[in-house]
Structures are given as C-alpha cells and as structure tokens.
A and B are shown apart, each in its own frame.
Chain A
C-alpha cells in the first residue's frame, strides 16, 4: 500500500493535525493534503535501509539481479509525485522468486515517473531484459507505417490465425499497480469515450466487466478475445488486480478483428487479429486503429505516455518500446519435433508459447510464435521479423514433409 503519510510529511504545505483521544492510547490522525510534491521527494523511514533490504538469495529475476543494497538504500528514500515507492515497485519480484529456467522481470512501474525516479534500478533491468538496450544512451524508433511491410501473407494451411498486440497508457494517470479506483475509472471513461468515435470497419461496442454475464465472458475467453481473471501471483502481487472487476472491460469492433482491453495489466491493450495468415491486413488495421484512437484522445486533450528514450511507457518494463507482440498460431508437426527447433527460433528472434498465451503449453503441434524483442526496434521492423521468420519456419516444415533437410538460419542481424 502507498506510504501516503510519509509523502505528505515531506510536502511543502502544512498538514492539519486532527487529534483523537482514544481509550488508553495516544493517537493522532493526520489530514491528508493531496498536493503535488516533486519527483524524488524524501520518504521518512523508521528503519535503516539495511534492515529493510529484501532477502533475494533464492531469487532469479531481473530485479534481484540488479538490486544491490547500495541502490536500494539510495532509492528507498524516494517516491514519485504520486507517492509510489521502490518497495511497491519491487514487491512482485520479492514475492515471486522466479523459476530456474524462466527469468521474469520482477518489478513494475506505478506511473510514468517511476522510470525516472527509479532509473538506477530500472535502467540495468531494461538493459538486461532488452538485449543490451541502454536507456541512458540510446533512442527508440517508433514506426507505425504498415505500408512498409513486405510479403505479410502466410500459407493458410499452416497458419491458423494472426495477431498483433500492444499497450498504451494515458499520460497523467497512474498505472494499474498504483492507480486509485477513480483514476482507473477515468482511464475507462477517456478510452471508451474515444472508442465511441471509431467508424467504418472499426466501429464497435464496449462491454464492461462488471455488467457482462458469465456466459458472455466465457465466450470471449474461448475466442481468445478476453483477458484472464487475474490469478497469476506475478500480477496479483503488484496490486494490479485491486477492486476487480471495477472499471475493467473489453471493447471490440463488430467483426471482432480489433479489440481493446481496458485496465488489465495496462491502461489499454490494443489487439488486431483474424483467422488465417493475412498478417499484412492485421498489421494495417492495427496501425490505422491505433493512430485513430490516438487522434481521438488528443481531441479531448489527452495523450499516450511516450518518450524517445523508452518509447511507449507500460506497466511492465518488458513491454517498453513498441509493447508489440506480433504472432501467429501455426501448425508445425514435423519441425516442432526436430531438435533444432529451439535454436532456429532463437536465431530468428522468435519465441514460442502455447496457444493459451504466456505460460501455457502447446496443444498438439500448434504453437504461438511471436517476436522476442520489444524495445530498440520499430513496430514495422518487429512485424517484418515475424513475417520473415514464420515464412522460414513454414518453409522448413514443407521441406521436412518432403524428407528434405533443413538449415539453421544465421543469427538475426538488425
């Protein structure tokens, strides 16, 4: 929970003190003064940082790899203007030691300013997670011109569906781990208001989670349209599931090819998808839709969180930059059994998941194949990587069908 009191103590305004005499104990309640304080304001601690430093000896996540006692001591004194603290940012990583094989990030941002105030920890975490991208020296390219995509139509006999997703955050409102109920509702209001202005094949309807029937909800989950009720401790420990299902919902266009999730792990997740292998059309709709939504919120005086250092700002550091995951469900019965499969994917900068999404297993030989990278390359570049890579995989599959041999491609060069 936010250490609101400590933040207020450090504000420059006077704090009104309301004394209540209780039975047998001296207590004082303080009137909260919700004034803005500068980023990096001092937070009062009762214990020295060394007594508060988490025990990370059994941990395997990016936060644990980089949070030294010295960095902890430096940052634990600080809070963002919204009162978000280091302890809150790292709570998910402390509570979830991780897996020997899967290295999770282990921390989240509570607001846009987290990436500045806690840069001493987040920058090395970002660098590790994003393959050496150095936020202190590099800039991130944004490119949503889908006309640049080459040959984005896959063989439908192998590719069952194509999908591109990203996230967007509304500047000025706290992110899901830290937002208040009212802020979350404001996000919902701003986005739903904008989406109501979409026209043509993008016109659609909003379904609030609080009013959806269980049946509607299950149908949407089965269609791969809806987000999970939060059960993963990685998410619940960061506080992003508070007040569920208040102000959560899904918007989709009438043809169910353009979807927006509201207030799940991020303010918004934007998804373009369809059955079959026409990634080009999926990406076209993705870019058009995104730009249109951006235009509509800007009309009302809002904007997305973005900067040239980190690209689009999202809750999890792993989703910075483009926040983009472009993927297909593809059937590769022969290739998936080939011992070189993993190496091929690695060199193509692709990742495999089960068809239920992250942390699920594949069903039969159908895999979810998507880009590994998020930050340091543009949207066009990443989708191109997926297009080229999946075409290569299908080519391998076809070769194996004919009894021909396949080659491991050279490691990907940008």
Chain B
C-alpha cells in the first residue's frame, strides 16, 4: 500500500491553462454567457472566497443550461455573501443588465413600513383571486444553498426554527421538516400553493442547491396559513404572506410585521441577515438582490390577456406575467399570475405600490373590454 501511495504522490497533477478551461458558450443565451470573457475568466479563476467558492461554482448552472432564445436566465449563482465581492467583475455587469441599469455605485433603499402603501385594500375580488408577497433572506455567516455543507444547512434550519417558534399572536405557527412530512401532507401543501417543488429544474440542480435533499429543508407556517417560511430551498429562507382575495394591503402589513419580528429575533440571537447598502438583501440568485420581493396576484383577465397591447401594458407598468403554477408555467383559463418585474433599485413599498396600482388598472381594462369598450384612453405611461 505504501509503495502505491509513493507512486501516486509522484504523479504530476495536470493543471491546464485558463484557455483550456474556458467554457464553450457559443450556443448560450444567458447573462453570464453575455458577460464572461476569456480575460475575465483567466483573472477570476485564480480566486476563491474565504469559503472556497470558485468561479466554476458560480457559473456551472449557466454552462450546463444554455438557455432559451426568448427567456434570458441569469446563468450564475452565489455560494456565499463574499461571492458578490470576490467575483465583482463578472457579477456587477450581470446585475446592471438584469436590474435595469443598476450601477456598481448605486445605493438601494429598504422600506418595510406598510403605512407608506397607499390603497391596496380594494382590489376587486371578482377578478383578483389571491394576493401574495414573497421575499428571501440569508443568514449572515452561513454559505448559501449552492455551496453549504450539510452541517451549515442544518445550522440554518435550527436557527430559523428557533426564531420562528417564538412568534406569537396571529403569527404563531408550526414547522414541518420535509423529511418527516407524510406524502399526503406534502401534496396538500403543494396543491395549496404553499410548498416548494421538489427540485427538478436543471437550472437549480446544476448549481448544487438540491444536494442532500430533503435534509435540512422544511416549511413553517402560521395556524391560519397566511404567513409561510420556506427553509433551505433556493435560499436560506423564503418568506411569504398570502391570502385569498384582493386585499394586498393586509397581505403586505402582515409581511412587514412578520419580517421585522423575525429579524429582531435573529438579532437577539446574535446573527443578522445578509444585507448591504449597495445590494440590499443578499440572496443566492443575482436576480433576487435588493428587495428579493415579488408581490403578485392571481387575476382573471381573459379578455385583456388576449389583447394585442397586453405585453405593452405590462411592460409600461413594470409588471410580469406567469402561469398560476409559478415561474415557467402556463396560464390556466385566462387566469394569470401578475407581479412586479423589478427587485433591486426600488424599495419594498414602491414595488408593492406598482403592483397595486397596476393590477387595479388591468382590472379596469378587463371590465372595459367585457363591455366592448376600448382601452386606448387609459393606456398607462412608462413607469
């Protein structure tokens, strides 16, 4: 045995040049592929974050998933908070392109005061079936899902569950670890739009965030199922406030109250969320930086959605449409998921305001189209 080790110790480990390591991105259409040059790769290849995350870890998902001619994915992830600094040369231009021209010197404002939201309690429930606000939070000091070890992931779970268990009043709730959940419980939660998918998307799998599934993963929700926290899916925490109907104001109130309480609980335990004044809240995917906030409704707009100007209206309102199954799903019977397109460079209040005002207008347009009227006179300006 010793002789074999000696032989192998003498092996010359082949470390090949950065030119030979550079990925073939000729078929690719994602933000990473647009930005990553040979020179940049050569430079970044020699670095690692203090946790050992390297450029290959950052870009693997983008290399493995060339993308879609119509949908521009980000194509990279962060393995820890420091990724955004250590690989700045790659991530800053991606952030700028993805977040509407947000510059490396720009400052992001955080505003979680629900009193600053105007209106939002009167969206027509005949059209607006449900309202939801979600964001993500990362716990400082732990690696993010693409890079964390089992121990770290369990540490995130333990710390989060301790904090959540001390919530009270209408926020009081319970944690369901994925590995102890029955299949029936799990399916019920999925059908209620409460639970996160078992990871099947190659975008997620290729980044390594599904390792050790379902270890350390779970869902916490309050007794009324209006405030939910996902633990260790694509981010450390995803925080969701939701309810049937169109009272977005109430949803946002609960969202802000709950988030602020959780943050206080974490601070009491000597930790905090990953946040800085340039990038706001730091999350795994660069697309979720800033507020990490997606405020949306399920709204019935069968006429509006078939209108020639539908896409244009959404664009001007800074809104995005999805199917009712979430990202990358199709709409069912004229019911769409409409939410804010932006994440970074606007505060939480500003983004929810855009959704409230925008959805109100879409419903108004839908009603006009039902009556056979034109919507030209209420076309919005570009926000």
Contact = CB atoms under 8 A, between A and B. Distances in A.
Interface string B113-149: 0000000000000000000000000000000001101
A44 to B, nearest CB: 9
Contact of A116 (B1, B60, B149): B1
B228 interface: no
A256 interface: no
Contacts of A34: 13, 15
Contacts of A182: 16-17, 20-21
Contacts of A29: 47-49, 82, 85-86
Given A91-B211, A94-B212, A307-B4, A81 B11 contact: yes
Interface string A43-84: 001111001111100100000000000000000000001100
A183 B16 contact: yes
Contact of A8 (B45, B48, B206, B277): B48
Interface string A148-169: 0000000000000000000000
Interface string B15-58: 11100111110000000000000000000011111111110110
Contacts of A2: 52, 54
Interface in A1-58: 1-6, 8, 18, 20, 22-25, 27-32, 34, 36, 38-39, 45-48, 51-55, 58
Interface in B53-99: 53-54, 56-57, 60, 63-64, 79, 81-82, 84-86, 88
B9 interface: yes
* Chain A CB within 10 Å, residue with most, of B8, B23, B53, B86: B8
Contact of B23 (A48, A186, A236, A246): A246
B233 to A, nearest CB: 15
Given A81-B13, A181-B23, A25 B81 contact: yes
Given A51-B151, A55-B215, A113-B8, A180 B56 contact: yes
Contact of A47 (B12, B63, B152): B152
Given A46-B152, A55-B179, A39 B8 contact: yes
B276 interface: yes
A128 interface: no
A349 interface: no
Given A55-B179, A87-B149, A94-B211, A25 B85 contact: yes
Interface string A82-100: 1000010001001100000
Contact of B8 (A48, A58, A94, A116): A116
B213 interface: yes
Given A1-B208, A180-B16, A186-B14, A20 B86 contact: yes
Contacts of B326: none
Secondary structure call for the B interface: loop
B151 A52 contact: yes
Interface string A165-182: 000000111000000111
B82 A46 contact: no
A397 interface: no
A241 interface: yes
Nearest to A237: B211
B154 interface: yes
A30 B52 CA distance: 9
Contact of B14 (A47, A91, A173, A210): A173
Interface string A109-127: 0001100100000000000
Contact of B20 (A1, A38, A186): A186
A210 B12 CA distance: 30
A183 B14 contact: yes
Nearest to B278: A23
Contacts of B52: 2-6
A31 B53 CA distance: 12
A242 interface: yes
Contact of A1 (B79, B82, B212): B79
A241 B64 contact: yes
Interface string B254-283: 000000000000000000000111110000
A1 B85 contact: no
A275 interface: no
A392 to B, nearest CB: 40
Contact of B51 (A5, A20, A51): A5
Contacts of B22: 181
Contacts of A25: 81-82, 85, 276
B374 interface: no
15 contacts: A1-B57, A2-B52, A18-B47, A25-B82, A32-B46, A32-B47, A34-B15, A46-B152, A52-B149, A54-B212, A55-B179, A81-B9, A82-B13, A112-B8, A173-B14
Interface of A: 1-6, 8, 18, 20, 22-25, 27-32, 34, 36, 38-39, 45-48, 51-55, 58, 81-82, 87, 91, 94-95, 112-113, 116, 171-173, 180-183, 185-186, 210, 236-237, 241-244, 246, 307, 309
Given A29-B85, A91-B211, 16 more contacts: A1-B60, A5-B49, A18-B47, A24-B278, A27-B81, A28-B82, A29-B49, A45-B149, A54-B215, A55-B215, A94-B215, A172-B11, A172-B14, A183-B14, A183-B16, A243-B23
The 8 closest A-B pairs by CB, nearest first: A5-B52, A47-B151, A182-B16, A24-B276, A182-B20, A22-B85, A51-B151, A29-B86
